[in-house]
């Protein structure tokens, strides 16, 4: 062990050197004003160098998964480089084009990042939900031949200001969290400032309240030894009482400053004077800087003695910028070492010029010894850590009984209820979750069939007491619905964890999350985060829009269709009819499992083989269903994003393009206009997102010389005469469909909702916001002047 400790110490030094050199190199990006951001890594990385060395080179096992604090990415990449899993070129181009990413990225980095980080707080919660996902998988009897992993987050102390962490903590407690470590880099500094005094005590209480073990790693082994010397208790008391700001300032100022301060404040108290005096300035600085988080023996001891299963929070005292000239300075977040400082550092590290990337340059132990240690590091033993899982067969179609009048939300409930009857692997792999809106998003029947998930069985007391209820809420390890408290951030991060199960647990899940459409915004950054990590799930957002009439502006969504279009990694749909929904949902189950890197299809110019997540914007408005057969061609068009509900003729003057629940208004308007305008067309847009993406891709293809590239919407509009105008309508922000006019150069008037809604009946609100049949006809009349549309006056 002593031998190993010596090796680890040397490698720890190298990790700090390599990370610092990587950042120094990235300075070339300062030309674009990036210096401040490059600097963000320097001090922040140094803070975690020891802890990460201990973890990766000793403590972690291959099955463990880590979310690394965003700014510690150079340390992560340096460690992977030492382990032979990161290329020098990637480090040389850190933050550059195709170089190692500024913040660890599981999709863009090539060195085995488990969880992306960047937006602080999200990676932390991801580890918690990944533990729950692992428990879920194993409770269902899957992946039991693999060892159980521990999910570890390396957390900045200021990161703990993010509320989503506490939402996650509460949920973790409810769900009986296990196998999760949060290692807090308690450097008492954020980006701008030094944090408030005594925060660690709040954290300690807080974590304990949620059932966590709390391990405080405060004093390093030098300090612990010094405390045992005569007068050591005085020194300890002084350290404990020293304000954060002052401690940081003295760390920055160095040995002489420590001596002056300590001598002034406690130097005349007998034995402690000797303790101070017998140390040189540099020894005194080493002692005072020897906080637990920079002391390998203390850190290793804390990790190795942790409870095997209980969630554990390690509060590790550190100094931001430890080992570098800016250590402890309150302005050091963006601190970059000057070339002169770097030169001094190079000499201290005994690294010869031109040998900066040599793995063992300047270390005090033979290269073979260091290499043989690295070869034995537990973390890298065994097969590849990134797993995969076979695709789950999806049925050819999803049956649903259509009622004559039906809402898409009801249809969704009915579809899942049908799936829930079966006992196929497909049905078993579905996992649903919802932040306290399970019943109101129509998941109730599915949950009745499949049960709620909990590691321990819990009976539904209403049922056992024979009190009639529509819902059967029995919790068991076999349940397939994870009921969350009302926290949309948690919903998205749980979906992120469940949606990466194939890669983390080697077991595929088909996750579906439901919430009210407006509350997507509540968890938006977490949704973006889940997509950035390439997690795979189906999001069902319902109800939506002002169609939710009586609920008022606080519950009605406006911007979400644009979010659906703009969000990378998320294919968005807003079907009007339940047969469309059935086709889309079936497709979605397959799409979320794709991971090919195939070419774009020449049909729709979309890359469906690469897969992604899916967002379905649904509604509670019952609308009259169309009695029709879903032919393969119609199904395909629904999935590609649009089809003609009424094909325009050659003399067409008006096309109405609608999305979602306003279908009856569009149909009514077209009916009214048909008598005075010839060949009116009615375009059903099921996915503005996919239509638009295909159009953009086809244009790009043409610009690259593929002159025949045509997207789905271009083909649909190809025969619409140039003089024809388009009126688009959606219960959402009008710009969602406004671009349709640019496809073929047709004049366009986009109707939709621009301002906060209010309470009222559906008809009142549609009229007020101008998305009713009357408004469509009026818009058509104005944009395509011609014979007056007689029925306009007939409408209210
Ligand atoms: C959501 C979010 N807001 C703001 C930032 C910008 N930011 C990056 S690091 C940081 C401070 C981090 O402090 P801490 O977590 O204590 O880490 P340290 O730098 O001390 O290591 C901030 C505000 C961010 N990355 N994400
Ligand atoms: Mg900090």
What does the DSSP 8-state code read for residue 149? P
For position 195, what pLDDT does the model report?
80
Residues framing ligand 1 (Cβ under 6 A): 44, 47, 70-71, 119-120, 156-159, 185, 187, 189-191, 320, 333
What distance in angstroms lies between residue 209's CA and the mean position of ligand 2's atoms?
23
At 654-707, the pLDDT tens digits run 999 999 999 999 999 999 998 888 899 999 999 999 999 999 999 999 999 999
Ligand closest in space to the Cα of 317: 2
Ligand 1 atom closest to the CA of 185, numbered from 1: 21
Q: Which residues of the chain have pLDDT under 50?
A: none
Q: Whose CA is closest to atom 9 on ligand 1? A: 191
Distance 104 CA to ligand 1 centre (A): 14
- Pocket test of ligand 1: the residue of 19, 36, 44, 50 to mutate, having most ligand atoms within 8 Å of its CB, is 44
Ligand 2 ion: nearby residues, β-carbon < 5 Å: 156-158, 187, 189
The per-residue pLDDT for 140 is 98
Largest distance between two CA atoms of the chain = 105
State the pLDDT at residue 628: 95
The residue among 553, 551, 557, 549 whose CA lies nearest residue 517 is 557
Q: Ligand 1 center to residue 120 CA distance, Å?
A: 6
Task: Tell me how far the alpha carbon of residue 703 lies from the centroid of ligand 1, in angstroms.
Answer: 41
Task: Give residue 732 CA to ligand 2 midpoint distance, Å.
Answer: 41
Give me the helices (H) in 351-487, please.
367-375, 408-421, 425-429, 444-450, 461-464
Which pLDDT belongs to residue 629? 94
The 10s digit of each residue's pLDDT in 540-582 is 999 999 999 888 888 999 999 999 999 999 999 999 999 999 9
Beta pairing partners, 483: 434
pLDDT of 795: 56
Distance between CA atoms of residues 170 and 648, nearest Å: 56
Can you list the positions of beta strands (E) in 249-304? none
Measured from the CA of 155, which atom of ligand 1 is nearest? Answer: 15
- How far apart are the CA of 76 and the centre of ligand 2, in A? 17
Q: Both tokens of residue 69?
A: 């604090």
The minimum-distance atom of ligand 1 relative to the CA of 120 is: 26
**278-315: b or e for each residue (b if 16 or more CB lie within 10 Å)?**
ebeeeebbebbbbbbbbbbbbbbbbbeebeeeebbbbb
- Chain length of the chain: 796
Distance 748 CA to ligand 1 centre (A): 45
Residues 6+ apart with CB under 8 A from 547: 556, 619, 620, 621, 661, 662, 731, 762
Of 101, 158, 192, the residue with max ligand 1 atoms within 8 A of its CB, to mutate for a pocket test, comes to 158
Ligand 1 center from residue 97 Cα (angstroms): 23
Q: Which two tokens stand for residue 415?
A: 């579809």
784 touches 725 (CB < 8 A): yes
Other Cβ atoms less than 10 A from the Cβ of 371: the count is: 14
Tokens, residue 255:
């040995």
> Which protein residue has the closest C-alpha to ligand 1 atom 10?
191
Beta bridge partners of 433: 482, 513
Ligand 2 centroid to Cα of residue 198, in Å, is 14
User: CB of 638 within 8 A of CB of 686?
Assistant: yes
Number of helices (H) and strands (E) in the chain: give both, helices first.
33, 20
- Ligand 1: centre distance to CA 255 (Å): 29
What number does the ligand 1 atom closest to the CA of 119 have? 26
Ligand having the closest approach to the CA of 187: 2
pLDDT number for residue 675: 81
> Atom 7 in ligand 1: which residue has the minimum CA distance?
191
Give the mutation target among 36, 71, 101 for probing the ligand 1 site: most ligand atoms within 8 A of CB: 71
Sign of torsion, CA 541 542 546 547? Answer: positive
Query: 107: how many CB neighbours lie within 10 A of its CB?
Result: 12
Query: Any bridge partners for residue 728, and if so which?
Result: 657, 750
Look at ligand 1, atom 13, and give the residue with the nearest C-alpha.
190
Ligand nearest to the CA of 119: 1
Which residues make Cβ contacts (< 8 Å) with residue 132, sequence separation at least 6?
172, 175, 177, 482, 494, 497
Measured CA to CA, the distance from residue 423 to residue 490 in angstroms comes to 29
- How many Å apart are CA 162 and CA 603, to the nearest integer? 45
Which of 190, 316, 318, 328 is the pocket-test mutation for ligand 1 (most atoms within 8 Å of CB)? 190
- Ligand 1, atom 22, residue with closest C-alpha: 191
State the closest ligand 1 atom to the C-alpha of 190, by its place in the atom list counted from 1: 13
Q: Look at residue 786 and give its three-state secondary structure.
A: coil
Looking at the DSSP assignment, which residues form a beta bridge with residue 123?
A: none
Helix/strand/coil (H/E/C) assignment for every residue in 82-137: HCCCCCHHHHHCCCCCCCCCCCCCCCCCCCCCCECCCCCCHHHHHHHHHHHHHHHH
Residues facing residue 510 across a β-bridge: 430
Measured from the Cα of 121, ligand 1's closest atom is: 1
- Buried b / exposed e along 695-727 (16+ C-beta atoms within 10 A): bebbeebeeeeeeebbbbbbebbeebeeebbbb
Ligand 1 centre distance from Cα of residue 314 (Å): 19
Contact between 659 and 737 (Cβ < 8 Å): yes
Residue 32's pLDDT is 54
- Taking the centre of ligand 2 as the mean of its atom positions, its distance from the CA of residue 42, in whole angstroms, is 12
């Amino acid at each position: 062990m002593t031998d190993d400790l010596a090796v680890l110490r040397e490698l720890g030094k190298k990790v700090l050197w390599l990370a610092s050199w990587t950042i120094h190199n990235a300075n070339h990006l300062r030309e674009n004003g990036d210096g401040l951001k490059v600097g963000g890594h320097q001090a922040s990385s140094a803070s975690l160098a020891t802890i990460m060395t201990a973890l990766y080179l000793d403590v972690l096992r291959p099955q463990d998964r880590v979310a690394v604090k965003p700014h510690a990415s150079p340390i992560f990449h340096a460690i992977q480089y030492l382990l032979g899993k990161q290329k020098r070129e990637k480090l040389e181009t850190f933050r550059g084009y195709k170089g190692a990413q500024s913040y660890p990225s599981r999709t863009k980095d090539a060195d085995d990042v488990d969880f992306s980080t960047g937006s602080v707080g999200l990676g932390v919660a991801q580890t918690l939900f990944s533990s729950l996902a692992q428990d879920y998988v194993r409770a269902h009897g899957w992946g039991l031949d693999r060892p159980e992993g521990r999910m570890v987050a390396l957390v900045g102390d200021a990161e703990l200001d993010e509320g989503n962490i506490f939402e996650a903590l509460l949920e973790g407690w409810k769900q009986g969290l296990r196998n999760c470590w949060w290692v807090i880099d308690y450097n008492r500094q954020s980006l701008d400032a030094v944090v408030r005094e005594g925060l660690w005590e709040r954290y300690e209480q807080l974590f304990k309240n949620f059932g966590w073990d709390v391990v405080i790693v405060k004093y390093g082994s030098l300090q612990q030894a010094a405390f045992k010397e005569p007068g050591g208790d005085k020194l300890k008391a002084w350290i404990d009482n020293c304000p954060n700001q002052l401690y940081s300032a003295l760390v920055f100022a160095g040995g002489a400053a420590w001596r002056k301060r300590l001598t002034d404040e406690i130097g005349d108290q007998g034995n402690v004077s000797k303790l101070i005096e017998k140390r040189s300035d540099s020894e005194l600085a080493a002692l005072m800087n020897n906080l637990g988080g920079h002391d390998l023996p203390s850190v290793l001891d804390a990790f190795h003695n942790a409870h095997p299963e209980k969630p554990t929070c390690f509060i590790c005292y550190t100094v931001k910028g430890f080992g570098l000239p800016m250590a402890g300075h309150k302005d050091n977040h963006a601190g970059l070492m000057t070339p002169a400082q770097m030169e001094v550092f190079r000499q201290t590290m005994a690294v010869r010029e031109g040998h900066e990337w040599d793995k063992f340059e300047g270390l005090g132990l033979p290269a073979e010894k260091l290499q043989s240690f690295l070869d034995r590091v537990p973390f890298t033993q065994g097969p590849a850590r990134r797993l995969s899982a076979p695709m789950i067969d999806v049925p050819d179609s999803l049956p649903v009984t259509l009622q004559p009048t039906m809402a898409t939300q009801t249809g969704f409930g009915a579809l899942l209820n049908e799936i829930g009857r079966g006992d196929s692997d497909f049905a078993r792999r579905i996992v649903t979750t919802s932040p306290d809106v399970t019943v109101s998003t129509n998941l109730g029947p599915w949950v009745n069939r499949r049960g709620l998930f909990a590691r321990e069985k819990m009976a539904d007391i209403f049922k056992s007491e024979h009190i009639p209820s529509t819902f059967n809420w029995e919790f068991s390890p076999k349940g397939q619905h994870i009921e969350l408290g009302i926290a949309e951030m948690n919903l998205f991060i749980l979906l992120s964890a469940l949606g990466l199960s194939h890669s983390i647990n080697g077991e595929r899940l088909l996750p579906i999350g439901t919430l009210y459409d407006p509350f997507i915004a509540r968890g938006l950054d977490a949704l973006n985060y889940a997509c950035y990590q390439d997690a795979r799930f189906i999001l069902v957002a319902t109800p939506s829009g002002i169609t939710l009439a009586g609920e008022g502006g606080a519950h009605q969504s406006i911007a979400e269709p644009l979010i659906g279009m703009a969000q990378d990694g998320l294919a968005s749909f807003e079907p009007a009819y339940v047969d469309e929904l059935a086709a889309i949902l079936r497709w979605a189950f397959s799409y979320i499992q794709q991971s090919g890197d195939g070419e774009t299809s020449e049909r729709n110019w979309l890359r469906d083989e690469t897969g992604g997540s899916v967002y379905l914007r649904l509604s509670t408005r019952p609308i009259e269903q169309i009695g029709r057969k879903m032919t393969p061609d119609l199904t395909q068009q629904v999935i590609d994003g649009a089809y003609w509900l009424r094909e325009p003729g050659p003399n067409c003057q008006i096309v109405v393009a609608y999305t979602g629940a306003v279908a009856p208004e569009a149909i009514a308007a077209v009916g009214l206009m048909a008598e005075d305008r010839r060949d009116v067309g009615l375009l059903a847009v099921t996915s503005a997102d996919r239509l638009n993406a295909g159009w953009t891709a086809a244009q790009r293809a043409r610009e690259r010389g593929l002159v025949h590239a045509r997207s789905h919407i271009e083909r649909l509009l190809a025969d619409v005469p140039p003089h024809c105008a388009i009126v688009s309508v959606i219960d959402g922000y009008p710009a969602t469909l406004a671009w349709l006019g640019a496809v073929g150069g047709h004049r366009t008037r986009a109707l939709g909702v621009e301002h906060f809604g209010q309470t009222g009946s559906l008809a009142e609100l549609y009229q007020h916001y101008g998305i009713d049949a009357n408004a469509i006809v009026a818009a058509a009349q104005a944009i395509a002047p011609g014979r007056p549309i007689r029925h306009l006056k007939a409408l209210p």
